[in-house]
Amino acid sequence: MGSKIIIQNAQLAVPNDPVIPVIMGDGIGPDVMQAMRLTLDAAVAQAFGGQKKIEWLEVLAGAAAFAKTQEWLPRETLDAIKEHIVAIKGPLTTPIGGGIRSLNVTIRQELDLYACVRPVRYFEGVVSPVKRPQDIDLIIFRENTEDVYSGIEWKAGTPEADKVIEFLQKELHVNIRANSGIGIKPISAFGTKRLVKKAIAYAIQNHKPSVTLMHKGNIMKFTEGSFKEWGYQAAQEYFPQETITEQEVADNGGKIPDGKIVIKDRLADSLFQQVLLRPTEYSVIATPNLNGDYISDACAAQVGGLGLAPGANISDHVAVFEATHGTAPKYADKNMANPGSVILSGVMLLDYLGWQSAGQLITDALAKTIQQKIVTYDLERQMSGATKVGTREFAEAIVKNLAC
């Protein structure tokens, strides 16, 4: 039956048999999620000698949920995730027409999963468009609940849009063209500081040298510019002994005191260039929502694409780990898709539970499988001399390499 994860003294208390809700997802979701479960179950059994086991609890969202309940995201699913604290999901389709605009965004907002966390690293043997993909080793903390993703917008020509335009023109003397679509970009001190606090706490725990605040504050001065200012304030308020600003380093003759994490900021367009030209200078990036969506996919491209890019959406405790790619419906039920993204998201889940040894087994076995050139079609077509295998067979190869 399994036991529930609970919160004790503001920390997860994880039993040996935690119940983990799992959303199998749409399109290729069932294929890659079955591969993930196979891999995680084998790694946990090996790492802990059979003393620990995940009890998977399937819950519904997406097309499967709509077919059974006429709801894209049943309340019971959200309640199950809240109750069990940690969950994992496959890719979900976006409903066409009215109602929910994005199931992924809705889950994040309903559960207040304010940090989208996406590590990016290179696996040797994967074909990359850059010369030194191994230089990329960073983790992105993307604010998940604010910015333009808040969904506060009105279609051009609607009474609501016209009313907002009229107010802005008459009351605030803003020049806006007629028949414009209107969107609002909220960024708050509260949302920014808790995101940056989580990013810095991660850097401290994992001995990372810096946290970079990514923003476009030279143009959007009171939203993204404020994100930058509030980010520096968060460092000073929560971690005054552990952090130092880049300016303070310069004032100190360029010397970074032992144990200090450097807090710096970069304009978004500049950072896109620098992760290509000087990626080793960046280890943790904290950024508003839209920037985070762009930079995480761009960095993933440098190491071979979204097929090996994991992700998680995390609040103070509740966490939903996920495949970062789409549903790819034309490959559904064909045993073709690369399950690497959700397998590595499963590694993040294991780390979150405190079961790092099982996660490390998977990471090492995945790296070895790729080096053996046993890969799914998306990687095989780019690699000379590779052996193409299906989704399940790729997972089975990883499991075989767990013991090696």
Which residues fall in the annotated binding site for D-threo-isocitrate? 102, 104, 108, 118, 142
Q: Which of 112, 269, 316, 333 is catalytic?
A: 269
Give the N- to C-terminal CA distance of the chain in Å, as an integer.
32
Q: Which residues contact 82 (CB under 8 A, 6 or more apart)?
A: 111, 318
Q: Which of 216, 228, 260, 368 is catalytic?
A: 216
Dihedral angle at the C-alpha atoms of 344, 140, 322, 42, nearest 10 degrees?
20
Asked if 216 is an active-site residue, the reply is yes
Residue 245 structure tokens:
């600003």
Q: What DSSP element (H or E) covers 182?
A: strand 182-183
Q: Which residues carry a binding-site annotation?
A: 93, 102, 104, 108, 118, 142, 293, 325-331, 338, 377, 381
Do residues 228 and 217 make contact, with C-beta atoms less than 8 angstroms apart? yes
User: HSE of 118 in the Cβ direction (CA atoms, 13 Å)?
Assistant: 29
Helix axes 356-371, 340-353, angle to 10 degrees: 160
CA nearest to 43, candidates 306, 262, 346:
346
The string of DSSP codes covering 199-259 is: HHHHHHHTT-SEEEEEE-TTTSTTTHHHHHHHHHHHHHHH-TTTEEEHHHHHHTTTPPPTT
Amino acid at 269: D
Helix axes 103-110, 75-84, angle to 10 degrees: 50
For 78, which DSSP code? H
Do residues 51 and 14 make contact, with C-beta atoms less than 8 angstroms apart? no
Q: How far apart are CA 111 and CA 104, in angstroms?
A: 11
Q: Which of 31, 293, 351, 378 is catalytic?
A: 293
Asked if 293 is an active-site residue, the reply is yes
Q: Which residue has the tokens 């119940």?
A: 19
Q: Which residues carry a binding-site annotation for NADP(+)?
A: 93, 325-331, 338, 377, 381
Q: How far apart are CA 260 and CA 246, in angstroms?
A: 11
- Which residues are known to be catalytic? 149, 216, 269, 293
